[in-house]
Structure 1
């Protein structure tokens, strides 16, 4: 056995990374925040229990390594306020959205069983997230009717679902608008992450209003 000289640096692995638009460096399954406005390429020196982030030999940040089993975490300095945005590519599990959707009605639950049977990973999360967003643009009755029609014809394409919803809305004399543009960075904010699964408003009054209109229509 050969003794290692005390003055030699600890062993490390150097990897190239990029600071994303919100200030995060992705390493392994977690995200390490670099305060300030600097972005672009950096080098990360990974030691046995910590890491150091450098740009042009300037030390930007040093962190303890995330523990075993820690996944998808934002790691920030404990003495600074948490940054307002999520990492650009942070995984956003959709368990909450799927649970909310399945609770709407048996028809929605049955449709999800069908539509998710051939989807996994990112594709599954994307579909659930988009379907949940679609449910927020209409009344519960119209959403359930849309999925019931889609299931009948074995349709699991989001664009076609929107067209079915428009057709059903026109038949019910209700106009929908899916064309609004939303800043993608809004969805990365901490407040959005905390509030996106809050209770949806009760829109059943609109279903009742249209039912009343149909009953009173002398030409119906």
Structure 2
């Protein structure tokens, strides 16, 4: 099983970016399929590494074909590889994502992209009641050095039913709870890249353990499972 991102991945994606049409892609499809096969092996290898510290029940590599039906951008192909790593539900919450793209645009992401209405309300109520544990995680030196601060969409003011003067309003107004870490092209094709990604994902467990506990209990701490 491939334990690195193949070195031909980024050059091919650069060529695809300059020739994003069906004729070129069909002419170069054998090369793409060979690269895609190795990339899938690398993602699955990472999934195995992650199972050493988490419970990953599914690795999903997204297709190269773009859904252009409702998009103004009609280019038929993505110019990156992307894949997600699903944790065992319902007890383990949060997700992982690995994005491979040339020109130093690769990154990993973790957290909660689109929490449903009930989960979003539960998270906000937790922060309203007590944000100290979340603050401790964000201030943890090892965590912060790897993941930095939250990124993602947020409201400009307080959500309905919440006090805009609340001390935790900076957390309460968030709509997404995501962390990201960027990588250079040189890092992506290095021998230790997937090990570094795995180590970064391992450090997110402080956050995931906390959020999983929040989202599987009520405000009294009683299990909902």
TM-score by length of 2: 0.28
Say which structure is richer in helix: 2
Structure possessing the higher radius of gyration over alpha carbons: 1
